[in-house]
Structure 1
Amino acid sequence: MAVPKISTRERILDAAVLRFSRYSYEETGLRDIAADVGVDVAYVHRCFGSKAELFAEAVAVTIRAEELLSGEPARLAHTLAKQLFTSDGSRPEDGPGKLDIIIHSLTSPAATSILREFIMNDFIKPLSAKLDQPTAQKAAVVAAVITGLGIMRNVLQMDPLLDDEDGKLESYLTALLKTIMASA
């Protein structure tokens, strides 16, 4: 069976994800991404418009908020906790971890603006809409807890947070998220 051919646009997006996950927003140039794929930089512009638009799409395909928020609302806390611990969040050998693109861009005003918009529109607002008492504040706290734990566990590799074979960490996070989501 033949392997499906990846479009040039997809190859550009994959290269952008790798670049933005390894270098800051300012250090990543469209010419570098174009060179990684072997295309003219004009083609990158034609496919994505601007560097900001390419970055926004790279963030979206890396984080995949719709997958994080999938499932029924009653089990959302469990689903979010399970995804954090089953995906392991660590950097896979063949690509970046979900948090890498965020971490490398936190010092850039242009990138943080894009990240802020993505997190609000693709995570906080959809999560808030799934809560019994919709509130962006609760959804933002959930996002902060998940991101903070992800950084402590998968980026800083904090020993007490690495081993969850007994499921206690997932259980703690599920209980915490349920409390946040259910609070008045």
Structure 2
Amino acid sequence: MNKFSSVTATACPLRAENVDTDQIIPARYLTTVTRTGLGKGLFADWRLDADGQPRPDFPLNQPQHADATLLLAGRNFGCGSSREHAPWAIMDAGFVAVISSYFADIFYNNSLKNGLLPVLLQPADLSELFDRVEEVPSTLIRVDLPSQTVTVDDQVYSFTIDPYRKVCLLEGLDDLSYLLRQEGHIAAYEEGVRS
């Protein structure tokens, strides 16, 4: 897993609410067990028309959002099934964080376990971000995990995150890697129990 500390980038706005994991990555793309290549299926049913051509009105297809690495998402993002492919597809498409006012629990946890930062903001704060990005697509947003802040110009928004998940993201550790780093402490504990 890659380390995540902070990023300053543009954002792609997707105001849709109740976006489920089948909309994020349709089931027909789930035949792979690898994390690479799933970006092409990200929002495929919305992004592409019946002939497989990009729909120009879809935010991810618009040139002003081509280099965005932050995704602004509407409320209840990632609801539906528990497919881990959803955060994989988002990351494979080049996004490092998703900012929303509410995430489905399973998607939220799958994201954290795979290195995608889900940033939870208050609805009014998210609405302000959407307005800024839609008005000026080149708006730079700084997401800083150590301080747990999102900054746009002089406006600072705060978000919370589980301390364990924060450490894992900052150090680039999945659950197993974190556990293996504790091997010395575990061995010392076991030795103490035996004596």
TM-score (norm 1): 0.28
> What TM-score do the two structures reach when normalised by structure 2?
0.27
Identify, as 1 or 2, the structure richer in helix.
Answer: 1
Higher strand share: 2
